[in-house]
Amino acid sequence: MGDWMTVTDPESKTISQHTSETKMSPSSLYSQQVLCSSIPLSKNVHSFFSAFCTEDNIEQSISYLDQELTTFGFPSLYEESKGKETKRELNIVAVLNCMNELLVLQRKNLLAQENVETQNLKLGSDMDHLQSCYSKLKEQLETSRREMIGLQERDRQLQCKNRNLHQLLKNEKDEVQKLQNIIASRATQYNHDMKRKEREYNKLKERLHQLVMNKKDKKIAMDILNYVGRADGKRGSWRTGKTEARNEDEMYKILLNDYEYRQKQILMENAELKKVLQQMKKEMISLLSPQKKKPRERVDDSTGTVISDVEEDAGELSRESMWDLSCETVREQLTNSIRKQWRILKSHVEKLDNQVSKVHLEGFNDEDVISRQDHEQETEKLELEIQQCKEMIKTQQQLLQQQLATACDDDTTSLLRDCYLLEEKERLKEEWSLFKEQKKNFERERRSFTEAAILLLKILGRSLLGIRHSSTVSRYGVRRQCNQGYICCLKRNILNSGIFKNIFILDWFGWV
Amino acid sequence: MNFSEVFKLSGLLCKFSPDGKYLASCVQYRLVVRDVNTLQIVQLYTCLDQIQHIEWSADSLFILCAMYKRGLVQVWSLEQPEWHCKIDEGSAGLVASCWSPDGRHILNTTEFHLRITVWSLCTKSVSYIKYPKACLQGTTFTRDGRYMALAERRDCKDYVSIFVCSDWQLLRHFDTDTQDLTGIEWAPNGCVLAVWDSCLEYKVLLYSLDGRLLSAYSAYEWSLGIKSVAWSPSSQFLAVGSYDGKVRILNHVTWKMITEFEHPAAINNPKIVVYKEAEKSPQLGLGCLSFPPPRAGAGPLPTSESKYEIASVPVSLQTLKPVTDRANPKIGIGMLAFSPDSYFLATRNDNVPSAVWVWDIQKLRLFAVLEQLSPVRAFQWDPQQPRLAICTGGSRVYLWSPAGCLSVQVPGEGDFAVLSLCWHLSGDSMALLSKDHFCLCFLETEAAVGTACRQLGGHT
């Protein structure tokens, strides 16, 4: 039999109160029974009895119980019925047996329940244990994984180091090989030289032996017909201390000459380089100084320094040109000023570059800056124009040549002739006017000359007449002849002088 | 260009006289002196043995003929053909013989470089110089002939002695900081002496005329060092060619390197003109039989023409892989020469033996590269202008100038293999030497070309 637990039931009253109020159907009572199975039996005793069966429903409850029991496999509670309609009598034995069976069953169930409960508890504790084990293992896994990663990292580093060491080893081996090769080549060279020397030594030994053995040896001498004079014609001199000193002097002179020559060369080079530097500096200054005249938007402080530098450098230039010596200070000044200028120039060029890039970004706002494309377009246009003009000139030339070479039709020729005639006419007109002017001038001159000639003739005439009157016939004749000669001469001269080309005047004189 | 007829020669001994009037050549034991313009034989001398070396005296009056096997030197006079002089070194032997700059003393180096004997042609005096160094260039004279520098070695140390040539007085004697001195050379201005070490150590020392050390230069350690050295005629530069294939130029003011010229086998800069010699394919007439083409290994066709083509950059030149386990390997700059105006420097890298590099010294960069079909044997600058003549052992001579270059076939029956060449001092002609013959090549000067053009213009 099962273990009966005696439990005090403080709550039984309340439960019984609760359950006595409601009248429940047998099925619901049964379900309640199942629900309350965990509650100790002593508690439910009162409630069951009062709830299920009362004075009123004994028959119903018996039949119900019988039904239930038969469904569960128990024998029936009723006695075997003799007839169909007779009331079935309750089989007490069966009832008692059933009750006993039920009690046994109950005990078994309780046992089973206890077992199940203990098992449940065991399982619960097992589960907890397993869970704790699981969490511990998970932690272990994590730590071991981290350890593994660390070890892998170390392994990688060691492999890297290993590779490097291998490489170093290879390099060292190569170097060793190279040195070995060098040693080998040196060794062969040494051996070769050694062998050569040994051969020479052997030959020497042989010769020595020969000489020692050979008593009479060939005479070492020079056989010369006559001695030749020295190349420079001078006589040989004795070797004395003076000659030694002279030789030393000569040697030092040669050396000094060479050094002086080289120094001159170097000085010349230096002067040239200095000139170049000076020029560079001047050019740099000139490059930078015009900037201060153009007012630019982006003027900054450097122009101020440029101006000051220009003034400074102008002073320096004059100073340097005065002292054209190779003294340290001048040299340093020059190089420093060149460096300064170069720096300024560099910064300026950089600024220009920036400006150019800015302009490209912003667009062509500045008038001075012409874009490359525009420039190219302009040049193309100009080239085209030049081409066209050239072609025009060519065609015109061709036409002209054609005109001159080939025969044209009459109209054009007459036109041309007219044109030419017109030209001629014009020219002739000009010449005519010129000629007229000249004529006028000539006439004027002529008049003046005729007047002068008339005067002259009058004087001559008077003088001749005077002579005629005063002289005798012979003399007169001679005189006349003379006078005539004079007049002829005069005439000839006057005629030859070409003053009186005008026939009218000559007529008037009666000479023609 | 005109070529003279071919004359006999032996031992590549053919030298122009210093005044440019005569040409001396040797045929076995005979010395033949010809006039340069007419090539007529002016004098003929007979020596006692096969001649190994000839040298003109500086005043062009005497010629010395050295016969090393017999230990004899014979001197001949041009003015007096009957004059004779014979110097017998006897048991001392003879390995080298040369004139002093005054043309009256002969310096004979005895066998094993035991001593140098200075024989005088004016007096009976004989001088001896002990312990000369047995190296490639142990004696050098200044250009004005006043001083002689001599390399010596005593007690395993190198020394340099400077003598005054007029009286052979020892002016200076100093030791040099070299391991094993290989060469000395005066600068053309006679004030600086360059001394360089053997190829086992890269070291160039510069001494002043009075024996002070001006500067020491060493580009690197341990690897093989200097192979060739050349002064520029203006004495401004000293070019040092080394085994690492670079030429380093030192300047005369600071004696420090101003630039180094590399000689890579691949040229990429488009500003450099690369001339490649190419065979011109022979033109066959219509009626000729077409011969089968020669085999590839038959060697160069003896009578084919060649011309220069300008190769477009990038160009890669043929290199020679040197044998690394032999001494004196064929790598590095073996030949160096400045042009007479110091504007150009011609070099040859022994790795790339068929190419000649021409460097512009004004701009300190490579100017042109000439690649020949066979290895270059010799090149020499025209003494008057920047014109370079090159020979490769074939029957052609090549000329380069800044205006261009041309290849000229030496005419003649058979194969005239030009092994060496030598310019006349006026730059008008050039002697081309082969093993058994030599011929003269006359180049048209600009004046001659000018008159020819004017004449042509007159006719038309």
Return the DSSP state at B126.
Answer: E
Kindly state whether B84 is in contact with chain A, defined as any CB-CB distance less than 8 angstroms.
yes
Q: What is the pLDDT of residue A303?
A: 45
Residue A101 structure tokens? 């069976």
Q: Confirm if B250 and B256 have CB atoms less than 8 A apart.
A: yes
User: Which tokens go with A296?
Assistant: 């630019």
Interchain CB contact of B224 with A (< 8 Å):
yes
Among B164, B252, B254, the strongest candidate for a mutation testing the A interface, having the largest count of A CBs within 10 A, is B164
Spatial CB neighbours of A34, under 8 Å, sequence gap ≥ 6: none
Residue A312 has pLDDT above 70, yes or no: no
Whether residue B241 sits in one domain with residue B143 = yes
CB B209 to CB A200 under 8 A?
Answer: no
- What residues of A are in contact with residue B169 (Cβ under 8 Å)? 239, 243-244, 247
Chain A residues near residue B128 by CB distance under 8 angstroms? none
pLDDT bin (cut points 50, 70, 90) of residue B450 is very low
Q: Residue B247 and residue B229: Cα distance in Å, rounded?
A: 9
* Residues 6 or more apart whose Cβ sits within 8 Å of residue A329: none
Q: Is B424 left (phi over 0), alpha (psi -120 to 50) or beta?
A: beta
Q: Which of A36-50, A85-99, A361-375, A433-447 has the highest mean pLDDT?
A: A433-447
Amino acid at site A217:
D
Is B459 a residue whose pLDDT tops 70? no
Least confident range from A356-370, B114-128, B132-146, B254-268: namely A356-370
pLDDT digits (tens, 9 = 90+) for A105-135: 999 999 999 999 999 999 999 999 999 999 9
Of A274, A276, A284, nearest to A332 by C-alpha is: A274
Backbone angles phi, psi at B201, to 5 degrees: -140, 130
CB pairs below 8 Å between A and B: how many? 123
Tell me the average pLDDT across A350-371.
75
Tokens of A368: 């001075």
Distance, in Å, from the CA atom of A144 to the CA atom of A238, rounded to the nearest integer, reads: 106
The CATH number of whichever domain residue B179 belongs to comes to: 2.130.10.10
Q: Which residues contact A255 (CB under 8 A, 6 or more apart)?
A: B191, B208, B209, B210
Cβ neighbours for A23, distance < 8 A, ≥ 6 positions apart: none
Q: How sure is the predictor about A419, in pLDDT bands with cuts at 50, 70 and 90? A: confident
What CA–CA distance (Å, rounded) separates A193 from A37? 123
Q: In angstroms, how far is the first alpha carbon of chain A from the final one?
A: 209
- Mean pLDDT comparison of A41-45, A336-340, A379-383, highest-scoring range: A379-383
Q: CA A49, CA A42: separation in Å to the nearest integer?
A: 12
Residue A38 has pLDDT above 70, yes or no: no
Distances (CA, A) of A365 to A356, A359, A371: 12, 8, 10
Q: pLDDT band at A293, cuts 50/70/90?
A: very low
CB-based contact (8 Å) between A213 and chain B? Answer: no
Which residue pairs, CB below 8 angstroms and at least 24 apart, start in B44-51?
B45/B74, B45/B76, B45/B81, B47/B72, B47/B74, B48/B72, B48/B74, B48/B86, B50/B10, B50/B11, B51/B10, B51/B11, B51/B13, B51/B26
Of residues A222 and A306, more confidence is placed in A222
The reported pLDDT for the residue numbered A143 is: 97
CA-CA distance, A339 to A145, in Å (whole number)? 66
Q: Find the DSSP H helices in A22-53.
A: 26-35, 41-52
Q: Which residues of chain B lie closer than 8 angstroms to A231, CB-CB?
A: 58-59, 102-104
- Among the partner residues B93, B190, B329, nearest to A254 by beta-carbon distance: B190
Burial of A348 (0-12, 13-18, 19+ CB in 10 A): middle
Residue A371 touches partner B, C-beta closer than 8 Å:
no
Distance CA B460, CA B454 (A): 10
Which phi and psi angles does A472 have, rounded to 5°? -80, 175
- What pLDDT score was predicted for residue A81? 62
| Contact status of A175 with chain B (Cβ, < 8 Å) | no
Q: Give the model confidence (pLDDT) of B235-266 as tens digits.
A: 999 999 999 999 999 999 999 999 999 998 88
CB contact set of A251 (below 8 Å; sequence gap of 6+) = B147, B164, B171, B209, B210
Q: Of the given ranges (A91-100, A469-478, B25-34), which has the lowest mean pLDDT?
A: A469-478
User: Residue A444: which of A382, A376, A499, A384 has the closest Cα?
Assistant: A499
In whole angstroms, give the CA distance from residue B418 to residue B392. Answer: 7
Residue B7 located in a structural domain: no
Considering the domain boundaries, does residue B1 fall inside one? no
What is the bridge-based pairing of β-strands B105-109 and B115-120? antiparallel
CB of A322 within 8 A of CB of A333?
no
Chain A residue with Cα closest to B163: A247
Q: What is the mean pLDDT of residues A231-250?
A: 79
Angle at A397 between CA A391 and CA A402, to 5 degrees: 125
By the CB < 8 Å criterion, does B119 face chain A?
A: yes
Look-up of token digits 């009362």: A54
Q: Is the dihedral of CA A293, A294, A299, A303 positive or negative?
A: negative
Check if the beta carbon of residue B106 is closer than 8 Å to that of residue B97. yes
Q: Name the pairing type of β-strands B41-46 and B226-231.
A: unpaired
Is there a single domain that holds both residue B341 and residue B359?
yes
> Is B281 exposed, middle or buried (CB count within 10 Å of its CB: 0-12, 13-18, 19+)?
exposed
Q: pTM for the whole thing?
A: 0.62
Q: Identify the residue whose tokens are 């052979």.
A: B168
**Confidence band of A229 (pLDDT split at 50, 70, 90):** confident
Nearest CA in chain A to B119: A222
Least confident of A59-73, A455-469, B213-227, B420-434: A455-469
Residues of chain B in contact with residue A226, where contact means CB-CB under 8 angstroms, are 83
Q: How many helices (H) and strands (E) does chain A have?
A: 12, 1
> How far apart (Å, rounded) are the C-alpha atoms in residues B396 and B301?
12
What the block records as the tokens of B329 is 């390997």
| Token pair in block for residue A356 | 């150019």
Number of domains in chain B: 2
Interface of A with B in 260-279 (CB under 8 A): 262, 266
Parent domain of B341: 266-279+305-320+330-409
The pLDDT, as a whole number, for residue B454 is: 40
User: pLDDT band at A19, cuts 50/70/90?
Assistant: very low
Phi and psi torsions of B342, nearest 5°: 65, 15
Of B87, B122, B191, the CB nearest to A229: B122
pLDDT averaged over every residue in chain B: 86
SS3 state at B311: strand
Asked if B54 and B13 touch (Cβ cutoff 8 Å), the reply is yes
pLDDT 10s digits, A164-212: 999 999 999 999 999 998 888 888 898 888 888 888 888 888 888 788 7
pLDDT tens-digit readout, B298-342:
333 445 677 788 887 788 888 888 887 788 888 999 999 999 999
Please tell me the least confidently modeled range out of A75-89, A136-150, B68-82, B434-448: A75-89
Q: Which residue has the higher pLDDT, A463 or B28?
A: B28
- For B375, the enclosing helix (H) or strand (E) is none
Q: Is the pLDDT of residue A486 over 60?
A: no
> What pLDDT sits at residue B287?
38
Q: Work out the average pLDDT over A430-446.
A: 90
State residue A394's pLDDT score: 92
Give the residue carrying structure tokens 């004994």.
A58
User: Do B439 and B1 form a contact (C-beta atoms < 8 A)?
Assistant: no
Given a cut of 70, whether residue B176 has pLDDT beyond it is yes
> B2 has which bridge partners?
B442
Residue A460 has pLDDT above 50, yes or no: yes
- In three-state secondary structure terms, B227 is strand
Give the distance between the most distant pair of CA atoms in chain B.
Answer: 78
Give Cα separations from A383 to A371, A372, A386, A391 (angstroms).
18, 16, 5, 12
Q: Within a 10 A sphere around the Cβ of A363, how many other Cβ atoms?
A: 8
Q: What's the pLDDT at B453?
A: 38
Interface of B with A in 265-324 (CB under 8 A): 324
Q: What is the pLDDT of residue B348?
A: 94
Q: Are residues B229 and B315 in the same domain?
A: no
A33-47, A61-75, A376-390, B143-157: range with lowest mean pLDDT = A33-47
- At A330, the pLDDT band (50, 70, 90 cuts) reads confident
pLDDT of residue A216 exceeding 80: no
Mean pLDDT of B390-405: 90
Region of poorest pLDDT, from A96-100, B36-40, B284-288: B284-288
Residue B101 lies in a domain: no
B12-17: average pLDDT? 93
**High-pLDDT (> 70) share of chain A, %:** 66
Whether residue A408 has pLDDT greater than 70: no
Residue B165 in any domain: the answer is yes
User: What span, in angstroms and rounded, lies between the C-alpha atoms of A70 and A90?
Assistant: 14
Query: How far is Cα B87 from Cα B126, in angstroms, rounded to an integer?
Result: 12
Tell if the CB–CB gap between B121 and A227 is shorter than 8 Å: yes
In this structure, of A109-123, A160-174, A214-228, B35-49, the range with the lowest mean pLDDT score is A214-228
pLDDT, position A156: 97
What angle separates helix A26-35 from helix A58-72, to the nearest 10 degrees?
A: 60
Report the pLDDT value the prediction gives residue A301, as an integer from 0 to 100: 45
Average pLDDT of chain A is 76
- Residue in chain A lying closest to B192 (CA): A255
Give me the residues paired with residue B211 across strands.
none
Looking at the fold, whether B201 and B273 belong to one and the same domain comes out as no
Same domain, yes or no: B146 and B221: yes
Does residue A186 sit in helix, strand or coil?
helix
Window 223-242 of A, Cβ < 8 Å to B = 223-232, 236-237, 239
**Better-scored residue on pLDDT, A63 or B249:** B249
Residues of A within 8 A of B210 (CB-CB) are 251-252, 255
Report the range of poorest mean pLDDT among A1-10, B160-169, B201-210, B247-256: A1-10
Cβ within 8 Å, pair B146-A250: yes
Cα separation, B424 vs B444, whole angstroms:
13
In chain B, the residue whose alpha carbon lies closest to the alpha carbon of A241 is B169
| Alpha-carbon distance B174 to nearest alpha carbon in chain A (angstroms) | 16
Tokens 């007690």 sit on residue: B155
Percent helix / strand / coil, chain A, rounded to 5? 80, 0, 20
Most confidently predicted of A32-41, B140-149, B292-301: B140-149
Element (H, E) at A270: helix A241-288
Residue B4 lies in a domain: no
Q: Which residues of chain A are within 8 Å of residue B325 when distances are taken between CB atoms? A: 184, 188
> Taking 90 as the threshold, does the pLDDT of residue A43 lie above it?
no
Distance from the Cα of residue B379 to its chain's centroid: 7
Cα atoms in the Cβ-side hemisphere of radius 13 Å centred on A271: 9
Domain residue ranges in chain A: 4-90, 328-509
pLDDT at A326: 56
